[in-house]
Amino acid sequence: MSDLPLSGVRVVDLTRILSGPFCAMILGDLGADVVKIESPKGGDPVRGQGHIVDGLSWYFAGFNRNKRSVALDLRRPEGLAVLERLLAGADILTENYRPGVLDEMGLTPARLAQINPRLIVVSVNGYGSTGPYANRPAFDFIAQAMSGYMATNGTPATGPLRTGPPLTDLIAGLYAALGAVSALRARDAGGPAQRVEASMMMSILSMMAYLSSGALATGRDPVTTGNDHPIVAPYGLFRAADGDIAVAPSTDVFVARFLGEIGLKHLLDDPRFADNARRVENRAELNRLVDDALAHGTQAHWIERLNRAGVPCGKVQRLTEALADPQVAAQEMVLEVPHPGHGTVKMTGFPIKFSETPLQLRHPTPDLGAQTDAVLAEAGYGPDEITGLRDRGLLG
Amino acid sequence: MSDLPLSGVRVVDLTRILSGPFCAMILGDLGADVVKIESPKGGDPVRGQGHIVDGLSWYFAGFNRNKRSVALDLRRPEGLAVLERLLAGADILTENYRPGVLDEMGLTPARLAQINPRLIVVSVNGYGSTGPYANRPAFDFIAQAMSGYMATNGTPATGPLRTGPPLTDLIAGLYAALGAVSALRARDAGGPAQRVEASMMMSILSMMAYLSSGALATGRDPVTTGNDHPIVAPYGLFRAADGDIAVAPSTDVFVARFLGEIGLKHLLDDPRFADNARRVENRAELNRLVDDALAHGTQAHWIERLNRAGVPCGKVQRLTEALADPQVAAQEMVLEVPHPGHGTVKMTGFPIKFSETPLQLRHPTPDLGAQTDAVLAEAGYGPDEITGLRDRGLLG
C-alpha cells in the first residue's frame, strides 16, 4: 500500500459544525493525521444533530471520519498550554471561529509563529476576515442570501430560494482544504508558512459562472427560469411513459440527434422550430410535441438510447434512489463503516479518485475524547501528567 | 513578492467548456503555468458563449484567466506529436473528455508514462471513468438530476428544481484541482505520479450533508421546505419596513436573542412558542408576529442590530447587488482586468486568501493561440519548424 497524498502531515483541528470540519475531514481523507480538539462538555454540537442511531449521529459520523478526538478545555490557561504543545508539532491549524476569536484566545499570528514558525493556519468563515461584515456570525442560509446565489435559485413564482444542502459551508470548506494543501506545498518548496482563508459568501460567489459574467457585462440580473434553460430549447424535464427524464442537448448538433432519436427530426424543417431562437419562442408547443413522442417509451429506454446517441439525459432521482444507484455503487460512493459500539454507519464516500493511492477510511468517526490520552502521550505527556490534567477537569 | 504556491508547476490543459477549464484556472490562479491547447478552428466553444463585449466573451474571460493559449490541431498525428513534446516537460495534464477519448487519441496511461513518467493526469467527467454510466456524456443539469440533488432543491409546489449556476461542473472542477495539488505533493514527496479524477455526479453527492446522512439512516427522502428550515423556527425570510431579511437563529440561545432584539421575548412564555417543537408547529402564527415586529425598522437597521447580537442575518441580494456589495469590494471579489483589444473585463476574484502569497491576475484571458509561438519555442521548436507547422495548417 502506497502512502496517501498527505501522509505524515499533522493537523490540529479546532473547527466545529460543518464548514471547518468538512475542510479538516478532507485533509484526513487525503492522509493527514487530524486531531480534532473538542470541548469536554459535549464536544462538537453536531454530535447531537441529525439522525442518531445507537448513540451516534450519522451526520456527525459522515463529516468527521479520518480524525482523532481530543477532549480539552480551551477556556482555561492550562488547556491552552496543552494546545500550544500540540501546535508545536503540527503542520496545519484549522479553525472556523468568528474572525478575531483566535487572537482573543492569545493565539495571535505572532504567538503562533513563536510556537511553531512552520505552522500553516487555515480559517473558514462567513465573509472573510477583513471588510465591514468580517465580524458577523456566519450561517449558510445568510451566505446564500447575501451572495446573490439565492436570487438565482428558484422560479419567478417562488422568488429567491434557499437550496437544500448547506452548500456554502461545504464549498468554503473545500476551497480551504485546497488552500491548505497549496500552502503546504509552497512551504515545503521553501516558501513561508502562511495564513489561508476561505469564506462562505465569496466561495459561492466564485461559482456563479455565466450568471456573474452576464451580470457584470450588462448590469442586469439573471432571470430565474426553473428547469428551463434561459436560452436553449428543447431542454429540461420531459415525460416518458413511466416518469420524467431530464434532457440537455446543448447545441444544434445534439438537438438534431435528440429530435432524430425520438422521431421528430422533421420539426427542424418547421418554421416554428427551425433554429434555437424560434424554438425558445415556441417552447411550450415544442415541449408538448416532445412529451407526446416520449410517451411511447419508458424512462430507462430513452435514457439508454439518448445517451448512446450522445445526448445528455438522465432521471430525476430521489436522494434515496441516487444513493442506491448502480453507478454510485461502482464509484464506492456509499461506505459502510463499522463504528465500535454504534453499529455500522453508512456515509457518502470519496469524490476524488487517485489511481495509485486510493483514499480510504482509516479512522471511523471517534467518540468524544477517544484519543485524548494517546495524542497527549505522543506530544510527550507522561501518564502522571495526563492523570493530573484529567483530575483538574481539563480533559475528557 | 513571494512566489505563488504553484510557481514552477507546468500544466498542459486539454479541457473545454466549464468543469475542466475551472480546474485548470484554479491551478493557474495558484501560480502554475497553464497552457490551454485549443482547436485552431474556433477554440473552446465557450469563446462564443455568454455576453460578448468588444469581441470577447466575459464568461470565457472570467473562467480562463491565468492561462496561455496554444492553437494546435490534435486530430492530425503531427499535432499530437507537438502535444507529446509539450507533455514531456509538464507536471500535470488536465482533461475533461468523455472517459476513453484520451486512449483513443493514443494517449493511454502506458504511452503517457513513456512520454513523461512524472506526469500527473487529472480528469473531470460526468460520472467517473468506471461503472455503468462511465461513457455517458456529461452535463450539469443531468448530474443535478441523477445525484438526487435536484430532488432536494425547490418547494413541494415546484417539485425537483435545477439550481441556477452549473454547480456540479464547478464543484467537480474544484475537487479535481485539490486532487491535482495533492497528487503533486505526493509525487514531490517521493510517491508515484498518478491519475486523479473527480466526477460531477459524485462531487455534488458528497455535499448533501445532513440530507444524505438522514436518507442513509432512515431510508426516507428529505422533504423540500423552500426557505423554511425543516426543523427550526423562527427561521427564514421576514419582512422589514423596506424589504425582506433572512434570519437564521439556529439554537434556543439565538432564538431568545432574536426575539429579545425585536421586542418579542415574551413569546417564549407563551405555550404556543415555548420550545422549538411548538414553534415549528405554530410557525405560521409565529412568522406573522415576527413580521409585524420587524415592520418597525428597515432592513439595514435589523441586519446591523441582529448581527451585533450574534444572530445571523442578512439581505436577500440580487446578484448585481451582491457584486456591488462593500464586503465583496473589501474582499476584492470583483476584478477589473484590462484585456488588450477587448477593453476592461470584470470578473469574480480569488476566493482563497493567502497572507504571504496573495493570488494575482498574471495573465488576462488569452486570445485563441496568442502564445502558440512562444510556448512552442520554449519546448525547443525553432522558428522554421514553427513556420512549417503553421504552413501545414496545424497551428492557429
Which CATH number does the domain housing residue B263 bear? Answer: 3.30.1540.10
For residue B69, list its beta bridge partners.
B36
Residues B125 and B138: beta-carbon distance below 8 Å: yes
**Catalytic site residues of A?**
229
Range A191-195 average pLDDT: 97
Domain assignment of residue B353, given as a range = 10-208+328-391
pLDDT tens, B55-88?
999 999 999 999 999 999 999 999 999 999 999 9
Q: Clarify whether residues A242 and A333 are in a common domain.
A: no
CB proximity list for B67: less than 8 A, separation 6 or greater: B13, B24, B25, B28, B34, B35, B36, B363, B365, B366
Q: Specify if A200 maps to a domain.
A: yes
**Dihedral (Cα; A82, A83, A86, A89), 10-degree rounding:** -120
Q: Clarify whether residues B177 and B107 are in a common domain.
A: yes
B52 to chain A, closest Cα gap in Å: 8
pLDDT computed for residue A232 by the predictor: 84
DSSP secondary structure letters along A323-366: HT-HHHHHTT-EEEEEETTTEEEEEE--SEEESSS-----SPPP
What does pLDDT average to over chain B? 96
pLDDT tens, B267-315?
999 999 999 999 999 999 999 999 999 999 999 999 999 999 999 999 9
Q: How many domains does chain B have?
A: 2
CB contact under 8 A, B319 and A211: yes
Q: Clarify whether residues A14 and A161 are in a common domain.
A: yes
Q: Clarify whether residues B69 and B122 are in a common domain.
A: yes
Q: Clarify whether residues B120 and B204 are in a common domain.
A: yes
What does pLDDT average to over chain A? 96
Task: Give the whole-angstrom CA distance, residue B100 versus residue B95.
Answer: 11
Q: Specify if A396 maps to a domain.
A: no
Q: Specify if B89 maps to a domain.
A: yes
Q: Decide which of A294, A321, A348 is a domain's last residue.
A: A321
Range B195-220 average pLDDT: 98
pLDDT tens, B87-109?
999 999 999 999 999 999 999 99
Nearest CA in chain A to B5: A186
pLDDT at B230 over 80: no
Q: What cell numbers appear for B62 in the block?
A: 472570467
Q: Is B209 helix (H, G, I), strand (E, B) or coil?
A: helix
B240 to chain A, closest Cα gap in Å: 15
pLDDT at A1 over 80: no
What is the percent of chain B with per-residue pLDDT over 90, rounded to a whole number? 96
pLDDT at B202 over 50: yes
Range A195-207 average pLDDT: 98
Q: Specify if B396 maps to a domain.
A: no
Q: Clarify whether residues A250 and A199 are in a common domain.
A: no
Q: Largest Cα–Cα distance of chain B, in whole Å?
A: 87
What is the percent of chain B with per-residue pLDDT over 70, rounded to a whole number? 99
Q: Clarify whether residues B258 and B298 are in a common domain.
A: yes
Set of chain A residues whose Cβ sits within 8 Å of the Cβ of B304: none
Q: Clarify whether residues B243 and B149 are in a common domain.
A: no
Determine contact: B120 vs chain A, CB below 8 A: no
Residues A86 and A5: beta-carbon distance below 8 Å: no
pLDDT computed for residue B1 by the predictor: 42
**Dihedral (Cα; A151, A155, A158, A160), 10-degree rounding:** -10
Q: Specify if A222 maps to a domain.
A: no
**ipTM here:** 0.98
Range B203-222 average pLDDT: 97
Q: Decide which of A321, A346, A373 is a domain's last residue.
A: A321
Q: Clarify whether residues A201 and A148 are in a common domain.
A: yes
Q: Clarify whether residues B108 and B249 are in a common domain.
A: no
Q: Clarify whether residues A185 and A280 are in a common domain.
A: no
Q: Specify if B5 maps to a domain.
A: no
- The pairing of strands B10-13 and A352-354 is unpaired
Give the A:B interface size as CB pairs under 8 Å. Answer: 492
Alpha-carbon distances, residue A169 vs A124, A139, A142, A201, B317 (angstroms): 9, 8, 11, 9, 19
Cα–Cα nearest to B174, from B122, B110, B241, B119: B122
Determine contact: B189 vs chain A, CB below 8 A: yes
Specify the DSSP element, H or E, that contains A148. Answer: none
Task: Give the whole-angstrom CA distance, residue B99 versus residue B107.
Answer: 12
Range A31-48 average pLDDT: 97
Grade residue A225 by pLDDT with cuts at 50, 70 and 90: confident
Residue from the list A62, A142, A218 with its beta carbon closest to the beta carbon of B51: A218
Which CATH number does the domain housing residue A193 bear? Answer: 3.40.50.10540
pLDDT computed for residue B2 by the predictor: 54
Range A32-57 average pLDDT: 96
Q: Specify if B184 maps to a domain.
A: yes
Determine contact: B157 vs chain A, CB below 8 A: yes
Alpha-carbon distances, residue B241 vs B176, B296, B325 (angstroms): 45, 6, 21
Among A152-161, A228-237, A381-390, the minimum mean pLDDT is found in A228-237
Q: What is the CA radius of gyration of chain A?
A: 26
Q: Clarify whether residues B259 and B381 are in a common domain.
A: no
Active-site annotation holds for B339: no
Residues B19 and B138: beta-carbon distance below 8 Å: yes
Range A93-111 average pLDDT: 97
Q: Decide which of B321, B339, B366 is a domain's last residue.
A: B321
CB contact under 8 A, A177 and B178: yes
Q: Specify if A312 maps to a domain.
A: yes
